Amino acid sequence: MKVGLGQFAVARDWQENAATCAQLMQQAAQAQADLLVLPEAVLARDNADPDWGVNAAQPLDGPFMQRLLAQSRGQALTTLFTLHVPDGRDRVCNTLVALRDGDIVARYDKLHLYDAFAVQESRRVSAGQTLPALLSVGGMKVGLMTCYDVRFPELARRLALDGAEVLVLPSAWVRGPLKEHHWQVLVAARALENTCYMVAVGECGPRNIGSSRVVDPLGVTIACAAEAPALLFAELSRERLAEVRDRLPVLANRRFALPQLQGGSADCQAQ
């Protein structure tokens, strides 16, 4: 499977961001990528106002999504990103969507909200309540995660036990002391401990670190961006995955069961 990582700085204006996403989708399709992963919260951002992205939220039938659904029409490419979607209660969900050929083929409301390092995402954002279903792309099973989810190993493990071979992580990883180190360690750890590929894409504006990367099932970084906008590609190999899992059968050797997450989904607008 060929995967593209589209790292960019999210602007205040949703039209500008839609145009950037559409351009990256076009470039990834021309490069014959199977999967394009974009950052978290791509609809709008004003770094001087932490509530701006929430205030600018749009429903899934809004103009931002309509622009990108139109771009995806006729493409075999699957594109993943997150945006803020109103939930009808003066709050929003941080919703990951997967687009393919003009349709939304998967969605996931972020489970773990970023209430850490003096940030409180839960003040305006409602947490998801259900595990995301796996998505088939390029002959591989893809598990969906978002940003802060990477700090909770049980989610990645649950997805791997459900059959995920690739874990994707759209992110807006905030700068700060040791934060780049945390990002690199956590992304590599989730790949290595679950013998999965990890595709982690970061927003690269002045508030966030960028540093998008692909890590293979043995924890080796095989592609990486710096702090500037970038579109990079990597090949994910089922043969490599099978060979690693044969040598390092951690999923088969584990001794502890992991229960399914219970509860209904958050009531974010589907239209």
Active-site annotation, residues: 40, 110, 147
C-alpha–C-alpha distance, residues 133 and 64, integer Å: 24
Extract the tokens encoding 60: 């899934």
C-alpha–C-alpha distance, residues 227 and 73, integer Å: 31
b/e per residue, 225-239, with b = 16+ CB within 10 A? bebebbbbbbebbee
**Other beta carbons within 10 Å of 67:** 16
Report yes or no: 191 and 197 within 8 Å, Cβ to Cβ.
yes
Which runs of consecutive H residues, i.e. helices, occur in the chain? 14-30, 52-55, 63-72, 153-161, 179-194, 238-247, 250-253
C-alpha–C-alpha distance, residues 21 and 14, integer Å: 10
C-alpha–C-alpha distance, residues 75 and 49, integer Å: 36
C-alpha–C-alpha distance, residues 28 and 33, integer Å: 5
Report yes or no: 45 and 82 within 8 Å, Cβ to Cβ.
no
